[in-house]
Structure 1
Amino acid sequence: MNKSNKLSYIDSGEGKKTLLFIHGFCGSHGYWQDIISGLKDKYRVIAIDLPGHGASEPLGASFTIEDMAVNIAAFLDEQQINQVYMFGHSLGGYITLSFAEQFAEKLSGFSLIHSTALPDDEAGKEGRLKSVEKIEIDGIPAFIDGLVPKLFAKSDDPNIENAKEIGYKTSESGAIGSLYAMRKRRDRNHVLKDTKLPVLLVAGEQDKVIPAKKTFTVKGDHIKEVILKGSGHMGMLEAPGKLAEEIIRFVEEK
């Protein structure tokens, strides 16, 4: 693990193109390990830990999706990386959209993986508050034990325990701050519609958290849609080979 601008990260492989992966809520760079193994022979691949997740320090008591995007821009500047293809899972997708809105010049293309440009609806906002309460009362381990199995299509998926172990490393402040940030995020369908960059939208056929209809909200010649058959909300763990193939195809398309 490396650390820069308070963010922990892994940096693998070499190549003219750099791919940056941003995990979802209560995840870490570990979500991408199977994906990275299939990409590092062709590209430079970087996967970060978001603030308060994995080995990264929290941003503070209160922060926004926009703040996290700015944090990543500062990280790229510090690493002297001018352009990347950015891939964001769930929460990471919200950050990717904000990054594309603020720093389009730093992107060669971007992807939402099991994510959406839509804001939380009222039920979603209430659910965020209930999650905050759960963490404050019962702690991170109990919260993760309840959350993670719901992310997978199959209740006996062998990756569930690994995802729990990753989740346990999330700080309470990182989790709670992220919940409030997600609750306050804006509609960014205009970013998908107006961007001049190529976009890859990936949905899980059996994703109960963010179904495909919430991912595929904007159509356009610059947007490619992919559905991962049999996958829930964790395609990078449930279908890493297929997802890696789609990422390569996206990055190599002219």
Structure 2
Amino acid sequence: MLKKQFISENLTLSYEDVGQGEPIVLLHGFCGSHAYWERIMPELAKQYRVIAPDLRGHGGSTYQTDEYTIEDMAEDIKLLLEALNINKVSMFGHSLGGYITLAFVERYSSMLNSFSLVHSTAFADSDEAIAGREANIKKVEKDGVRPLINGLVPKLFSENNVMKMMEEEAYIKEIGYKTSKEGTIGALKAMKNRPNRSDILEHTSLPVLLVAGEQDLIIPTAKVFSTSKDNVTQSLIKHVGHMSMFEDSEQLLSDIKSFLS
């Protein structure tokens, strides 16, 4: 796959753009990159045009501003889509990518056919989570990104999968190490400061797919499945944690394809 770049005023976004057909956007999680989706992109690209960016400060993407918000990260995606002359997409956001997706829905819902939160939530951070973000910001400022990644990545997998997915775990760590110190801190601050967007899920008339991992230690099922109504599809993937795109990519792919069709 060819990596492409979109350059605007203070931002360079690196992204993949593969396949043809109705466009879909895949947004990765914190300290990840577009590579999080590599097991499902080739199959999706047989039917759809798949755009998978590296979020600002992650992967091959850079930015030049000190502090930013989840809304700013949603704006990045809007600018990318405008540069590609794409008017409407279906958007799938994993974890942090889900927070960005909800901000995108709030601001640019006319650009969406449908959207999905994959191991993500509409709720804001709890007081405990905010304290955790603040501790991690201090940790990264003092020791850099590697210790944070080493502590975080094992928690992303279901306890049942940690031993049998050591290669995948090492791979996710390598992706995480490439996240810039500034990008890591910027994303931690943006996540800490994001508002509760439960009302977006409650009021949207767009088709929504909510994907939860049965054994997710980061975002439990109840926080993913915060809304039940006719236009919302809930999928619980058994025996996985926070990383179904690696732990059970076939099931996640199946869920995405059946939702899109």
TM-score, scaled relative to structure 2: 0.95
1:8 match = 14
1:101 match = 106
2:177 match = 168
Residues 186-231 of structure 1 deviation map (CA, whole Å, 9 limit, x = unaligned): 0101100111100000000000000000000111100000011111
Gaps of 5+ in 1: none
1:123 match = 128
Map 1:79-228; keep pairs closer than 5 Å: 79-153=84-158, 154-156=161-163, 157=165, 158-228=167-237
2:252 match = 243
| Cα gap change, 1:120 to 1:224, in 2 (>3 Å) | same
Distance in 1 between residues matched to 2:40 and 2:169, nearest whole Å: 17
2:28 match = 23
Give the counterpart letter for 1:73 in structure 2: K
Shift of 1:133: 1.2
- In the alignment, is the contact (CA less than 8 A) between 1:84 and 1:109 conserved in 2? yes
- In the alignment, is the contact (CA less than 8 A) between 1:119 and 1:187 conserved in 2? yes
Shift of 1:138: 1.4
Give the counterpart letter for 1:31 in structure 2: Y
Distance in 2 between residues matched to 1:38 and 1:60, nearest whole Å: 36
Report sequence identity in percent. Answer: 47
Give the counterpart letter for 2:78 in structure 1: A
SS of alignment partner, residue 40 of structure 2: helix
Distance in 1 between residues matched to 2:252 and 2:204, nearest whole Å: 23
1:39 match = 44
Residues 60-113 of structure 1 deviation map (CA, whole Å, 9 limit, x = unaligned): 210000111111111110110011100000000000000001000100000000
Distance in 1 between residues matched to 2:89 and 2:113, nearest whole Å: 6
SS of alignment partner, residue 62 of structure 2: coil
Gaps of 5+ in 2: none
- Give aligned pairs, total: 251
Give the counterpart letter for 2:28 in structure 1: H
Give the counterpart letter for 1:171 in structure 2: S
2:62 match = 57
Distance in 2 between residues matched to 1:59 and 1:49, nearest whole Å: 15
Shift of 1:59: 4.8
Shift of 1:145: 0.9
SS of alignment partner, residue 249 of structure 1: helix
Residues 112-159 of structure 1 deviation map (CA, whole Å, 9 limit, x = unaligned): 000000000100000000111111111111211111111001222131
Distance in 2 between residues matched to 1:142 and 1:174, nearest whole Å: 15
TM-score, scaled relative to structure 1: 0.97
| Cα gap change, 1:168 to 1:11, in 2 (>3 Å) | same
Give the counterpart letter for 2:230 in structure 1: D
2:73 match = 68
Alignment RMSD:
0.8
Name the stretch that deviates more: 28-37 or 140-149: 140-149
- In the alignment, is the contact (CA less than 8 A) between 1:198 and 1:223 conserved in 2? yes
- In the alignment, is the contact (CA less than 8 A) between 1:52 and 1:59 conserved in 2? no
Shift of 1:177: 0.6
Q: 2:238 aligns with which of 226, 229, 251?
A: 229
Shift of 1:58: 2.5
